[in-house]
Amino acid sequence: MEIQSHLTDTIQVFTTGDLLRQVAEFFRESVHSHVAITENGRYLGVISEEDLGSFDENKKISDYRYNLETFHARKDASWLEVLETFARNETNLLPVLGEEQEVLGYYQLLDVLGLLTETPFFREPGGILVVAKGSKDHSFSEISQIIESNNTRILGAFITDIQNDVVVTTIKISSENFSELLQTFRRYNYSILFGTIHDQFLEDLKQRSDYLDKYLNV
């Protein structure tokens, strides 16, 4: 996906000679979490709105140069690299640098997230399946093999959580043979955490439970 077209150069960039109260005014008039700082035309780092609260607004930015964070994106970065940088640094505004460390502009989080909606994962019809398995046994090749062996297409998959050596994977698939697919995952010892399409296995369990309740109430 082309992300460079979402670069914006209309958002302010400050220099180390500016006063912190100017930065405070910028944050009051925007919804951005960070803003870029340059020195002699080269990128130095970013100030966060959260950190600004502990600074003296009457001082210059240069007085706090060693408190700046330094995350950024290169102009040739892929959208996935950019999205990862957003997530890792908990920001909604990301400076984009050129070859000479100059700030070319910014990527905004909402624009990058908008690119996700253009992918087949979101646009193609199908079902969402969330499965979990121990990290030692987790394998994307096995997941793909299970899906394709059930004559089902995989539209996308990514790891959404890792806790206590358990890997959680979210999968977007075409809806054919969905119930059979879930049963195959269970045979391979995957836990089914979520499925958006009717699961005949779960329905069978419910019917048996209802039958047992009726039997016990006789």
- Torsion of Cα atoms, 196 then 200 then 206 then 209, to 10°: -150
Interstrand relation of 93-97 and 127-134 (parallel, antiparallel or unpaired): unpaired
Distances from the Cα of 35 to the Cα of 10, 44, 50, angstroms: 12, 11, 11
CA 16, CA 63: separation in Å to the nearest integer?
8
pLDDT of residue 185: 93
In the block, tokens 């048996």 appear at 208
pLDDT of residue 168: 93
* Residue among 142, 154, 156 at smallest CA distance from 184: 142
pLDDT of residue 194: 83
pLDDT of residue 202: 44
CA 116, CA 130: separation in Å to the nearest integer?
19
pLDDT of residue 177: 66
Which parts of the chain register pLDDT below 70? 1, 175-177, 196-218
pLDDT of residue 34: 97
pLDDT of residue 179: 80
On whether the CB atoms of residues 13 and 36 are closer than 8 A, the answer is yes
Q: Mind listing the domains of the chain with CATH numbers?
A: 4-115 (3.10.580.10), 121-213 (3.30.2130.10)
